[in-house]
Structures are given as C-alpha cells and as structure tokens.
Amino acid sequence: GVGRPLDNAGFAGITHMEGPGEPHWRIAVKNNSAAPVQKTVSIRAGDVAQEQSLTLHPGAVAEFEYTLPPGCGTAVLRLAPDAFPLDDVLPLVRPTPKPVAVEMQVPEKTADVFRKIYSGLPGFSSGSSTDSTAALRILVEDKADAHRPHGAAIILGRPAEKSSGIRTVTAERHPLTDGLNWSGLLVPGTGSMAPGENAMMLLWRENTPLAWLEEGALFLNWSWEDSNADRLPATVLMVRRFMEAVQARAPGVTTGNLPGGTRLRLPGGSRIIHTAPDGERKEAPFSGRLPEEPGFIDITGTPAETAPLFHGAVWFSDARMGDFSHCSTFDSGLQYLKQETQRHLAPDPLAPLWLALAGLALMASWIPSTPNILRRP
C-alpha cells in the first residue's frame, strides 16, 4: 500500500427540520484529522452572504443550524478547500412538497386521528382537490361490493358481526407492512368488504382478509372506531406510508436535497442535468442513481420534454471516503523477501543428474513390451 495521512474536514450530512416558516436544516461537519481545526463556513444564498465559525475537535462532528432566507430558492455552503474537495461544498434547494388535498367522509373522531397523521407530512392539507393538487379520499363503506373510487383512497369498513376472543393478525411482505408489529391489533370483527381479483393482500385475521391494496386504494376491513388502530404504531405507520406513496405518485415535480448515490425510480429514457456549484453543466442519460459529486440536479423525462421530473441538490454523503487519517505506506509481503528471492533463484548443482534420470525414464518408456507367446486355452 502506498499512501499518507491527510488532514480533511468536510460536510458529513444534513437534517431537514420540519416546522412552519422558511426551510431550516441542521448541518454536520466532521474533522478527519488528528488535530483540532477552526473552520469558517461561507454561505451564499442569492444576494445574501454570511459566515459561520466552527471549532472542530480531532475526529469529532460539529453541528450548526441554517435557515434559507425568504425568497431564495437555493444556497451554497463552502468550507476552505483542502486535500479532498468533494465534501467542501454543500448545495441546498428549497424543498417544495407536492400538494395533496385530503377529503374525509368519516366520523369526526376518526377524522381527528387521520388529521393528526397527515399533519406531519409536508404538502398535505384538508379540502377538495384542484387542477394542481392530488386528492386523497378517506371514507367508510358498508357493502361487500364497495365502489372503488377513482384515484387514491383509504376505505374503512364496518364489522358485519362481532366475534369473541382474540384472533391472530398476520401480515404479508410488503413495503407498507415491513418491520411493523401487528400482534397488538384488536378488532371486534371483520367488515363485509371483499378483495377483488387484482387485490394485493396486506393483513389477514386468521383466514379472513383484513387489509389490502386495490386500484390505488387502501382497504381497512374493520371498524376503525371500535378497534385500537389509532393507538397501535403499526397501523398509524402503515397509513402514513400509504399517504407518502400517494404523494410520490402525484403529478408534478419532486424537489429535495438528497445524498449522492441515491436511487430514483423514474421513467426510462430520462436525462439528468448536473450543474456544479461553480456553474459547470453536464448532461447525460439518467442511470437511475444520482451522482456522487455535489451540485444541482434536474431530471427530465425525454430530451423533448422541458418540465423536470426531479429538481434538487446532491451532497457528498460517504463520510468514510473522506477519512484519510489512517492512510499509510506498508508492505504485507514476506519478512525476508530479498533472501527468499535469492534462494529461489540460486542454480541447483544436481540439475544435470535430474535431467539424466528424466532422459533414462523417457527412453525406458519407448522400449516395446515382450509379447505374450503363450496361447490362451
């Protein structure tokens, strides 16, 4: 190995802080050197320039908070250049979530629960949809042949009859149910709805369908008010995941700040435009994974389309690659490499004898064998 230790300090990650007002982040800077350093973060957002001083201890991470000024769509944070420049620049864009209007036709107690769930999701609001917003309907159905509404929906059922005793709830493998514990879900009985032929099953109550996906709708085949679903983390998280999936599928541009190397599911033939913080612009087919180099990203569906599918910023995310504190020059070969090499290269004094024996063996193999003159009876 050939190398030497390098002193490097760079951005190690960002955390978007939810809340009203302008976008707000908590930003981490890591010192990958053996000595403490003083770093100045230069911030440029439109015509607004400011600086932030940091004291970084050896191998430690320091954090500071930053709020995007009103009216600014982007910002670039810089550290003084060092031996590894990829983590010295941090571009940011104003996150703009896709708007989703939630229409509820459920009892007020149930509506309060769902309102609390989507209130923590940016872009969700109560009301009817418009041309620029997607709609998510939450309603209750009684009939077995419940009408499947067009578009996204969460459909709650009512129990056909109450059952006694505790019934086991099992979950199918699906992104909406993965990692969730359903052993505490208590429902008085399953509803009268029945899944269709193309339904994707999520939950079973013994052999009875309890929850499934069908035609963009999430069916919860039990009475929400008569169960403990609002107090069980699994059901709340499943509903939240479904709402996030509805927002991701909604039409419009996805914006955000993502780490380099993130995979995005976008249509085939998409093209990516990477603009470095210094203004250098590169355009290429999108392979499905964001580049590692920091910069601003625009992804369009095809070269003829001008409206982007994704607009955001990429920051260098692999902090391990920026740690050169343990680099060194080393040799893991034989301890006495020179002596071993000389011993193997020394001529063998018995080499003529070995060649003579090999020749005699070869000649002996050419001597024909004595034929068997005795005739078999």
DSSP sequence for 261-294: T-B----TT-EEEEE-TTS-EEEEE--SB--SS-
Name the one residue in this structure whose structure tokens are 């612009």: 281
Asked if 100 and 124 count as a contact pair (C-beta separation under 8 A), the reply is: yes
Whole-angstrom distance, CA of residue 202 vs CA of residue 183: 14
Q: Which pLDDT band holds residue 334 (cuts at 50, 70, 90)?
A: low
Tell whether the model's pLDDT for residue 225 goes beyond 90.
no
- Express each pLDDT in 140-187 by its tens digit: 876 555 556 667 899 998 766 666 556 788 899 999 999 999 988 888
Taking the C-alpha atoms of residue 95 and residue 15, their distance in angstroms, rounded to an integer, is 12
118 in Cβ contact with 241 (< 8 Å):
no
Q: Pick the range with the lowest mean pLDDT from 85-89, 126-130, 345-349.
A: 126-130
Residue 272 CA: distances (Å) to CA of 41, 200, 254, 284 = 29, 34, 14, 6
Closest CA to 61 of 88, 34, 89, 29: 29
Residues with Cβ within 8 Å of 74's Cβ and at least 6 positions away in sequence, in order, are 45, 46, 91, 92, 93, 94, 296, 313
Is residue 377 pLDDT above 60, yes or no? no
Question: What is the gyration radius of the CA atoms in the chain, in angstroms?
Answer: 34
19-33 residue pLDDT tens = 777 889 999 998 888
What per-residue confidence (pLDDT) applies to 160? Answer: 62
**CA separation for the pair 184, 109 (Å, rounded):** 21
- Amino acid type, 6: L
Please give the model's pTM, rounded to 2 decimal places: 0.64
Structural domains in the chain plus CATH codes = 8-94+317-322 (2.60.40.10), 100-249 (3.40.50.880), 254-315 (no CATH)
pLDDT value at residue 162: 63
Give the CA angle between residues 205, 206, 210 to the nearest 5°: 25
Model confidence over 243-264: pLDDT tens digits? 999 988 887 788 889 998 888 8
Could you report the per-residue pLDDT of 263-276, keeping only the tens digit for each? 887 777 888 999 99
Other CB atoms within a 10 A radius of the CB of residue 79 amount to 20
Place 305 in a pLDDT band, splitting at 50, 70 and 90. low
pLDDT, mean over the chain: 84
Q: What is residue 212's predicted lDDT score, i.e. its pLDDT?
A: 93
